[in-house]
Structure 1
Amino acid sequence: MKIKKIEGIVINKVDFGEADKIVTVISKQNGKIKILAKGIRKSKKREIYGTDLAVLSNFIIYKKNEISYLSSVELTDGFLDIKKNLFKINIAGYILKIADKFSMENEKNIKLFKLVYNSLKYISKEKENEKMLVLVSYFLNSIINQEGTSFLLNEGEYFNFEEGQFQIDKTENVLKIKKYQKKYLMLLNNVDIMGIYKLNLNKFNLLSVIEILEGYLNYHFDIKEQLKNYLGMA
């Protein structure tokens, strides 16, 4: 029986049986791992908080019959300010869901781990809702780039989801993009976050850009996730 120590972020959890919990963790060392935490739901110890959603913890696990079991867990960063604000909870939940869909079990992905960790840190500290929406757009664009499906910001006002580029003529699988949306995407592609802030876009403008990124991801990866559903705006 091999014992292993991993550092990871809890991106999903499911109750199992009367007292157990299956915790999905994206780790630095081993990518995504599903861990069976026996009896954790009846535990009165502080370690129970180390298996909450959107926390960074150190896990001691062991494997038996191809199942990873939790031996012990120590919370290292609870991102507590997220739990105090419903908007932050919803934004974090959305990011964790996307991370779950784009992480593979037992495949190391340090870039994704860092992206999720830094996103949670930002959400925890930020006070402005609009800036958190900018963070979501950055997160989605980073996922697109990490998956090797970056799109081209060439001439035209129609965005072709299939080919991942703008074009002048209207054809199938295209969306007409407004000027502010294209400018936003250009700044985002250049990681000019301060430039994005200077656009002074409201929540609905920002969500419209996020919907373009979601549409692109959905077309290529069938993610079927929409932030507006998490924010109760469907």
Structure 2
Amino acid sequence: MKVFKINGIILKKKEYGENNLLVTIFSKEIGKILAMAYGITKSKKRNLAAYNPMNIVEFTISKKNNFYSIKEASIVKVFKNILKDIEKLEISLYILDSINKIYDESVENQIFFNKLSDILSYIDEIVNLKDGYKYYILMAFLHRIMVEHGIYGTSEVKSLLKKELFLEYKKILILSKNLNFQKKVEQHKDSLKKIVIIFEKYVNMQLQVELNMQKFILEGFYGKQKNC
């Protein structure tokens, strides 16, 4: 049995049996894994809060026959501002759910782990997150996924968005270099909503996954955008 340490972001946890947790971890060292924390819900010595989704945690892991179990878990970082803000929580949980669906187990990707940590840190630090900027973050995240998986190209995006929306997309990209971008992007809120829906549908089709913003983002989000 091999025992080692990893640093990981918790994507998901699920009760398994009476006192166990099955934890989905996107780790820096070995990619996405499923690991079992045995007896965690009845243990007084182990920190149950360490297993909450979105935490960055240092795990002591054992591996036997391709099965992982958690021996210890120590919190490295908690995104406290995200947990206190429903808008930040919505987009962060959507990002975690998307990562869980897109990445296969044990596929190493240290660069994306670092990027995911940076994204969550950035969301955590935003002051007064408004709708337009929220959808810009979602658009940027989906753009990153498309680039990461080799399905992003100017011609493909132009075809997806059509002429008018593509011109708006280009304006937004140029505007993002402006120091007052967070305020100015609000005038493009409706366009950004349409773009993120189109990008999500494209990612779902190309990667054969089922990302679902409707599950996480404001109620009625899709209903208002049926003609996208």
3-state SS of 1:194 partner: coil
How far apart, CA to CA, are the structure 1 residues paired with 2:68 and 2:137? 33
Is structure 2 residue 170 aligned with structure 1 residue 186?
yes
What corresponds to 1:139 in structure 2? 141
Q: CA deviation at 1:191?
A: 7.9
Q: CA deviation at 1:101?
A: 1.9
Q: CA deviation at 1:131?
A: 2.0
TM-score, normalized by length of structure 2?
0.84
Equivalent residue in structure 1 for 2:162, among 177, 180, 188: 177
Equivalent residue in structure 1 for 2:204, among 218, 221, 227: 218
Q: Taking structure 1 as reference, are residues 71 and 187 closer, same or farther at Cα in structure 2, changes over 3 Å only? A: farther
How far apart, CA to CA, are the structure 2 residues paired with 1:143 and 1:177? 21
What corresponds to 2:129 in structure 1? 128
Contact 2:102 2:207 in 1 (8 A): no
* Deviation string, structure 1 residues 179-198 (Cα, Å, up to 9, x no partner): 2x31343366x686235654
Q: Structure 2 regions of 5+ residues with no counterpart?
A: 223-228
What corresponds to 1:206 in structure 2? 192
Contact 1:99 1:112 in 2 (8 A): no
Q: Which amino acid aligns with 1:124?
A: D
Give the aligned length. Answer: 215
Contact 2:168 2:191 in 1 (8 A): no
Name the % identity: 27
How far apart, CA to CA, are the structure 1 residues paired with 2:174 and 2:188? 20
Higher relative contact order (CA 8 A, sep 6+): 2
Q: CA deviation at 1:16?
A: 0.3
How far apart, CA to CA, are the structure 1 residues paired with 2:174 and 2:27? 26
Q: Taking structure 1 as reference, are residues 62 and 142 closer, same or farther at Cα in structure 2, changes over 3 Å only? A: same
How far apart, CA to CA, are the structure 2 residues paired with 1:183 and 1:44? 57
Higher helix share: 2
Is structure 2 residue 6 aligned with structure 1 residue 14?
no
Q: Taking structure 1 as reference, are residues 4 and 78 closer, same or farther at Cα in structure 2, changes over 3 Å only? A: same
3-state SS of 1:201 partner: helix
Is structure 2 residue 150 aligned with structure 1 residue 166?
no
- 1:43-82 paired onto structure 2 within 5 Å: 43-45=43-45, 47-82=47-82
Contact 1:211 1:226 in 2 (8 A): no
What corresponds to 1:156 in structure 2? none
How far apart, CA to CA, are the structure 1 residues paired with 2:80 and 2:117? 14
How far apart, CA to CA, are the structure 1 residues paired with 2:199 and 2:67? 36
Q: Taking structure 1 as reference, are residues 218 and 62 closer, same or farther at Cα in structure 2, changes over 3 Å only? A: same
